[in-house]
Structure 1
Amino acid sequence: MSQEIGVIGSPEFTTGFRLAGVRRFENVPEEQKDDELDEAVSSMLDDDEVGIIVMHNDDLDHLSRTVRQTVETSVEPVLVTLGGGAGSGGLREQIKRAIGIDLMEEE
């Protein structure tokens, strides 16, 4: 089972995670997101040590259709997005995908 958390995003986004001890990260400056984000995400997806990938929700818009589809359907590593209007419904779906059950299932 993969143990590492990986963070992808702008240097400002990844810095807090790095200070908290996250060792796997890919810095992609804002001006290079359209060119380098797909490569950074693909590289992190291929890293067998990474079990969770954290990205800013707004960065999903910069991914190509193929890479975005891959991360949205990936079970391991699972993608968790933060900020930018990622509502509880999105987080709920991410948790459901990660553990296989809906913890908040309505009766």
Structure 2
Amino acid sequence: MSQEIAVVGSADFTTGFRLAGVRRFENVQEDEKADELDGAVETVLDDDGVGIVVMADDDVSHLSRGVRQRVETSVEPVVVTIGSGTGGSGLREQIKRAIGIDLMEDE
């Protein structure tokens, strides 16, 4: 069973997670983001030991179409994005994808 959390993004983004104890991370240089991000994301998605991938919401827009689709539909590992674009409905969809059911029924 996948247990490890992986973080993908700039050094500034990954540093806080590393200080909190996350050992699996992929740093992507800010000026080479378009070139490196796809490879870094695919590396952690293909790692059987990774159960959760954390990345900045803004970084998703830098992914190629194929990798972005894989991120958006991945069930294991679950990809969680953090940032300005992750609102209530975005988080709700991530939780639904992670556990398979919608815990918050519409009223």
Matches within 5 A, 1:53-72: 53-72=53-72
Look up the equivalent residue of 1:31 and give its one-letter code: D
Deviation >4 Å, runs of 4+: none
Quote the offset at 1:84 in angstroms: 2.2
* Counterpart position of 1:105: 105
Quote the offset at 1:30 in angstroms: 1.1
* Counterpart position of 1:6: 6
Look up the equivalent residue of 1:43 and give its one-letter code: T
In 2, the alpha carbon distance for the partners of 1:14 and 1:59 equals: 13
Unaligned runs of 5+ in 1: none
SS at match of 2:103: coil
* Counterpart position of 1:32: 32
1:34-80: CA deviations, max 9, x gaps?
A: 00000000000000010000000000010000000011111000100
Matches within 5 A, 1:54-93: 54-93=54-93
1:76-96: CA deviations, max 9, x gaps?
A: 001000012210110100000
TM-score (norm 1): 0.97
SS at match of 1:55: strand
In 2, the alpha carbon distance for the partners of 1:86 and 1:66 equals: 21
* Counterpart position of 1:42: 42
1:8-30: CA deviations, max 9, x gaps?
A: 00000000000000010000021
Look up the equivalent residue of 1:2 and give its one-letter code: S
Give the CA RMSD over aligned residues: 0.7
TM-score (norm 2): 0.97
In 1, the alpha carbon distance for the partners of 2:105 and 2:36 equals: 38
Unaligned runs of 5+ in 2: none
